[in-house]
Each structure stands twice: as structure tokens, then as C-alpha cells.
Structure 1
């Protein structure tokens, strides 16, 4: 009987993993580009700009600054760069929030819509699973990049940075940090799972938000194991926890560190 339950539990875990991979293939409603570049080589990078329903002004600012539009966006794809705003769906599917995004996307054609993800602030750590899983299922690229929509970057220099690391596997790149775990409920950055970080309550080394870069094999790991990966209160901590047990190469890239400037964070890539 013991062996029966052990085998049953194993099979259930396998089925959950299979379902996760199957769902991931339908996460992106709009496959804006094909799986191979016009040159026949795989893409350099898929860059997802995280956005929310109430962040339209941020999207307009980015389109008017560093994100190419129209034909320029298509030319960027031809150079091996996929870039778009990443957003999930409303808890009330098909409501005005969803319709507004669909209307905006019909005009701009620059969204990567995660159909199976419920867009909410508290769901951001899970959004990482959906984004990296769906991106690696949809596009064959060397790197998968998450960027927040409240920062500005120099896209040319970011691409040059990625080019300089091309061919390196297991790259986990960004502005590395660690710090205190906030265990007092009600405080900013509170971590409900604080007790898991030991008596010293100190976070492990990880790439800090708002810009996270993973090489293909690390994104594939998230895709394959997403059903069993633990999420914490913060997305960057969650991604960092997934990297700990892997033979990942930590690349502390100070050019990707951000400084506060009013309400926006400005990334200076030099």
C-alpha cells in the first residue's frame, strides 16, 4: 500500500508538470513574431516590459522614448530582438480592463498578453513563471529579459551588453543585492515567509528588480518546473530562490543598477 501511494503521488506530480507545460503554450495570445528570425538564426533576446492596467501613461512614455514603434519595431525583430509589454488578464475576464488593453494592442501591436495569468499586484511573483515559461515556449532566444515599465533604458546599450554575453549558458544577470527580510506585518516589503530565511532573516544574493536577465536554459528550467517552484512576496526574491539550486553563473552587472528619480527609477547602462 505504501508503494502504491508513493507511485500515485509521483504520477500526480508528473501530470501537474505536464499540464503546466501544456498551459504555457497558450499563455501568449498574440504571437507577434515567428519562432525564427529572418536570417534563420534564433533571436538574441525576448524583452518583456511588465505593465499593468493602470499604467497606460508609462507605456506612452516608453513608446515616445526608447521603445521603437511600427516598422521600427519590426526591423528590431529582424535584428533578433523581440520586445513588448507583458500583461495578464483581469479577474473579471472580458471586462473594460481587458477590452481597453485589446483596443490599445490593436493600435500599437506591442503587447505580449498572458492569457492564463490574472493581473494583480500580489500576483507579480507568479507573473515571472508565466512570462519566462511562455516566452521560452514561443521564441527560441539566447536571453529572456524582464523590465518594469517605470524605468528608462538605453536599448542599444542593453542589446550590446547581451551580445557580449552571447554563447554563455546559465547566465543569471542584473544588479545583484541582498538584504534584510522584513518580518513585521504591515511594513513595506513584508515577507510572510520570513521564517524560511533563518534566524538572521537575511536574503540570499539575487538580481534585484526592475531588470532581470536569464539565459535560455534557466528560462527552460522555470518552464519545466513551474508547478513546483515556490514564490515569495517579491518577484526578484522568487526568481533568485529558483536559481540557488542550479549551477547558474551570477553576473553582477552594475550598469543595470537603478537610482531613484522622483517616482521613476532610471537605469543607466554605460
Structure 2
């Protein structure tokens, strides 16, 4: 009898979870694509809600949201875009917060190409250097800042190839279209280590902090799944995942 009651209780709990489950449409900065896939899976197991992820560049998301795109949550690659959306009346006031601080990394698919001090940038340029479009992607703007701070921007400028997002910049470097790429540490790190290739983590002093903010957008104001996802991003479980990809808090 006790076993039967336990089965009934489990079925009722599962039914209740399914009945209250909902979807949330999430615009995700490209640097967050991999960790958010893991977080979304954990979020679904914990809450029953489904986070539908659309990765892309923060600047492009801003234009799409202003044009009426039905995103309910924005996970940006900066803190300025969510603040602008809040001022524009397109984000829900009081919901904006910094969910992580990213790190910029110089990376190559060649395990011998990038040294631990980034001295490869001070040698005469050989091949292409991929960056995200600095007008659309904060990681691209940070890459230009770093090159300028090192005094090598003029030398590398003719060798730059721009991707729309840091995701595309990574693709250029990963496929060999560019020998080097300034990408997000999260794109090349897993479980606390560089997964493949060679990398130099750019000192934070060489660029403005890559504070990444989240905000609830007006289309998600009445969606319980949207509010639940923002709460989950503050959880120890979500932060542990993000730390494994090199994010800081």
C-alpha cells in the first residue's frame, strides 16, 4: 500500500509539473551559447519549463527587439544594451542584473600557435585574425581595445576579419579561415580547462569589463517560465556551470 501511495504521489507531482510547464523565448549572446544549452537542460529538469535559445550578436538583438521580435528574455554580452532596452520601455524595469562577467581570449585551433603571454601578437602578422564586429558585439569591441592597448592595432588592422558575432569569429578560427581569433573564453573552455588548441587569456586591464546583463523583456512579463529562468540564473547550480566555462561573478 505504501508503495502504491508513493507511485500515486510521484505521478501527481509529475502531472503538476507538466501542467505548469511553459516555454520562454531567449535571445542569447553568442558567447553564452554552449553554457546556456547545459543550463537550459538543467532548468528544464528542475522546473519543467523549456528555454528556447536563439544565439546571436547583442547589437543585432537590440535592433530585432526594437522591431518587435517576440523574445521574452535577453542574455546580453554587455550591460549597456539591457539598460538601453529598459530606458526604451522594452525591458521590464527592475529585472536587469549582471549574471556573469566574461573573459576575452586569443585562441588558435593550432595547439602550438598561441603562447601563454600573447607574444604572437607582437610578432609580424602572419595570416588572418578573426574578431567579432565591434559595432555589434562587445567581445569585438574588447578585442580592438586589447590590440590598441598592446600598441599593435595598426600592424594587425589589415589582417582583421570580422564576424557578425563572437560565434562567427570563433568559426573563422576553428575552421582555419583565420589562424587566430579573439573569442570568448567560454567558447574554448570546458570543465575549467582549454578544450583544444592554444590560448592566451587577455588580461582584464586591457579592455573594459565584459559585464553581461540579463533582462526580462515586455513580451515575457506575464510568463512564469521567463521569471523562473532569471531566478535560475542566480542559482548555485547555474553559476557552477558558468564557472566551468570561465565566467566570473
Q: In which range does the TM-score fall when normalised by the shorter chain? A: under 0.3
Q: Which has the higher contact order (CA 8 A, sep 6+)?
A: 2
In the superposition, the TM-score normalised over structure 1's length comes to 0.25
Of Structure 1 and Structure 2, the greater helix share is in 2
Larger Rg: 2
In the superposition, the TM-score normalised over structure 2's length comes to 0.26
